[in-house]
Amino acid sequence: MTALVTGGGGFLGATLVRALVARGERVIVLGRGRYPAFANQPLVSCVQADLRDAPAVARAFAGVRTCYHVAAKAGYWGDPAEFHAINVDGTAHVIAACRAAGTERLVYTSSPSVVIGARDIRGGDERLPYPRRYLATYPATKAIAERMVLAANGTDGLLTCALRPHLIWGPGDNHLLPRLLARARAGQLVGVGNRRNHVDVIHVDNAARAHLLAAERLERGSPVSGSTYFINQERPVALWPFIDALLAQAHLGPVRRYIGHRTAYTLGWALERAHVALRRSGEPRMTRFLAHQLGAEHWFSSKRARAELGYHPNTSIEHGLEQLRADLARSSL
């Protein structure tokens, strides 16, 4: 069997590639960079291509039976055209490549943010509707892409599903944790809210395993076909105490300064307008989307994933923190 992982050089993608190799599967890693970590892996081949380049994407799919579409442009600020080109157009190119190559299964890495508007969510499930308005371009484009993937289910022999992991963490994080540690060391990390807001998190190993389970159960006539799933840890966490626990693994103290959720939201609105009006480069220190992510409640039920995928988190929060401590001790973070 040959699997293709878009974004296979990233945090979740690389973990998924290693899990596939451990099962003896051949893997094609499709990404924009070069990945020396896979250079000497006999079961891994790397294809350097941009999701926006439809012909290059199509060429990578020869002989692929299962595609894990992990790659995306993430973030709370940026050029809307770039978000759309990568997240929407890039997904369209992946779907077209799957159809042309006769790929049987497509597992899409979505995000819970596709159903998050401006309200708290406590224990929501897959019946939640897409909101009318989004606070950022990222969730808006991920929602469009998710709908495209689900609409492609059953066409040209292709079966599809979408997973919604939230706040992926663990050893090897090259996105969230380095920024968090950098701000903490610079004395610039400010908490949002009252420290009591709960959110979902998921260890990277659990997220990768959920993708494998989804592919295994993605068969014609299965409830997985054309479905979405929230996947998470064994319980939601109080976000800021959890961030304090992450900082502690790097021997850093807890967050001391806080601003209110509503204050942060208003500040984000003002900074967004200033960035657009003044045509500033870079990211605002705060946006409405970021304020809501950091200060609101958003956690979900994984009952459907447990029943239909057989998913449960093998790596606990406590064990994951131990892994992270050891990884940080070996690295330069």
Q: Which CATH number does the domain housing residue 136 bear?
A: 3.40.50.720
pLDDT given at position 110: 98
Residue 58 lies in a domain: yes
Question: How many percent of the chain have pLDDT more than 70?
Answer: 99
Is 286 in a helix, a strand, or coil?
A: coil
The DSSP element (H or E) to which 298 belongs, if any, is: strand 298-300
At residue 76, the pLDDT reads 92
Domain-located, residue 257: no
Nearest to 6 by CA among 51, 40, 36: 51
User: How many of the other CB atoms lie within 10 Å of CB of 129?
Assistant: 7
In a domain, 331, yes or no: no
pLDDT at residue 78, rounded to an integer: 94
pLDDT of residue 174: 85
pLDDT at 79: 95
pLDDT at residue 312, as a whole number: 96
For 86-102, the pLDDT digits (tens) are: 999 999 999 999 999 99
| pLDDT at res. 331 | 81
Residue 211 falls inside a structural domain: yes
pTM score, whole prediction: 0.96
Q: Has residue 275 been placed in a domain?
A: no
Q: Residue 333: what pLDDT?
A: 65
Q: Is 90 within the bounds of a domain? A: yes
- Among residues 138, 229, 265, 311, the one annotated as catalytic is 138
159 exposure class (CB count in 10 Å sphere: 0-12, 13-18, 19+): buried
pLDDT classification of 281: cutoffs 50, 70, 90: confident
Confidence of residue 175 (pLDDT cuts 50, 70, 90): confident
Tell me how far apart the alpha carbons of residues 29 and 48 are, in angstroms, rounded to a whole number: 8
Residue 113 pLDDT > 70: yes
What are φ and ψ of residue 123, in 5° steps?
A: 70, 25
Establish whether 130 is a catalytic residue.
no
Q: What are phi and psi of 166, to 5 degrees?
A: -125, 130
pLDDT at residue 332 above 80? no
Look at residue 153 in the predicted model and tell me its pLDDT. 98
Kindly write down the DSSP assignment for every residue of 34-77, as one continuous string.
Answer: --GGGTT-TTEEEEE--TT-HHHHHHHTTT-SEEEE------SS
Q: Quick check: is 111 in a domain? A: yes
Q: Report, as an integer, the average pLDDT of 21-45.
A: 93
Between 331 and 128, residue with greater pLDDT: 128
Cβ-based neighbours of 289, under 8 Å, separated by 6 or more: 76, 134, 135, 136, 138, 139, 268
Q: Is residue 280 part of a domain?
A: no
Q: Which domain holds residue 217?
A: 2-168+202-232+300-309
Q: For the chain, how far is it from start to end, CA to CA, in angstroms?
A: 37
265 has pLDDT over 90: yes
Nearest to 161 by CA among 169, 174, 171, 151: 151
Q: What tokens were used for 132?
A: 């009318």
pLDDT value at position 40?
Answer: 86
Q: How many domains does the chain have?
A: 1
pLDDT band at 34 (very low <50, low <70, confident <90, very high): confident
| Type and span of the H or E element at 111 | none
Task: Write down the mean pLDDT value for the chain.
Answer: 95
